[in-house]
Amino acid sequence: MKTASFETRNPLIIVGFPGIGLVGSVATAYFVEKNGFEMVGYVTSNDFAPLAAIHNYKPLPPVRIYFSKSLNIMVIMGEIVVPVSISNDLAHKIMEFAGELKATRIISVGGISMRESESAVYLVGNEQSNVDSFVSKKLGKSIKEGATTGVTGTLLAVSGLSGYSMLAVLAEASPDFVDPKAASNALQVLSKIISVPINTLELEKEARTLAQGAKESAIKSKALGKKGGPEGGMYG
């Protein structure tokens, strides 16, 4: 991890990486943009895909670190899939970084496919009393049995041993496409947990646009199928 100098006071750390529905990436990118975060560093590895993300005409590292002094929140977000071979190493680096900053808590935002409710958000943490408190306030559902993998999985597994409060906010998401609605659902829960207002109207609008596009595509495909078109065998 490479960072510029900045002042912190026991910040909250929020983590988001691609996963189901790209929820982690979409949610954290939206969060830092709408709340005026400053990019203060980045994460690099020889095992990362050799690419640059381009935003507003500017090339950027695909895994970046943002900070808001006014909110005292650090965000580590990625726009590339972290290879399984280095997921453990990256999670431990994040833990080391949290230790250096004396962070108060780590919250990971992502997607999950439980196939129970389209709008559900699930909460998993290493402090069950916190999870139970959030669930009692109807902020999300708990998961009795299951598994979560990647960076989030390792963070959940080792954070308790390192003395850090760790919470995962996992929104039900589609495993087949980018899911801005799920990202919006995750952010709405995160907003209540950290007491920071987050306006998700743009994500909601994007979700409606994508849903309408998918609906129109399905209708066209079925019409082609009835006419004996080339996609009839797939959609008929």
Going from N- to C-terminal start, the domains of the chain cover: 2-199, 200-236
Given this model, what pLDDT does residue 225 score? 46
Say how far apart CA 168 and CA 14 lie, in whole Å. Answer: 10
Which of 93-97, 120-124, 170-174, 221-225 bottoms out in mean pLDDT, i.e. has the lowest?
A: 221-225
Q: Could you tell me the fold of the domain covering 2-199?
A: Rossmann fold (3.40.50)
Which tokens belong to 79?
């726009």
Categorize the per-residue pLDDT at 4 as very low, low, confident or very high, splitting at 50, 70 and 90: low
pTM listed for this prediction: 0.85
**Residue 81: Cβ within 10 Å count:** 16
Could you give the residue ranges of the DSSP H alpha helices within the chain?
A: 23-34, 84-101, 128-136, 150-159, 180-194, 201-226, 232-235
What are 63-120's pLDDT values in tens digits? 999 999 999 999 999 998 888 889 999 999 999 999 899 999 999 999 998 887 888 9
pLDDT > 50? residue 156: yes
Q: Which residues lie below 8 Å from residue 20, measured CB to CB, with a gap of 6+?
A: 110, 111, 112, 113, 173, 174, 175, 179
Local structure of residue 175 (DSSP, 8 states): S
Say how far apart CA 61 and CA 54 lie, in whole Å. Answer: 9
Categorize the per-residue pLDDT at 224 as very low, low, confident or very high, splitting at 50, 70 and 90: very low
Categorize the per-residue pLDDT at 160 as very low, low, confident or very high, splitting at 50, 70 and 90: confident
Nearest CA to 98 out of 118, 75, 119 is that of 75
84-121: b (≥16 Cβ within 10 Å) or e? eeebeebbebbbebbeebebebbbbbbbbeeeeeeebb
Residue matched to tokens 């189901």: 20
Nearest CA to 202 out of 30, 29, 78, 15 is that of 30
What are 30-73's pLDDT values in tens digits? 999 999 999 999 998 999 888 898 888 999 999 999 999 999 99
Residue matched to tokens 């959940």: 156
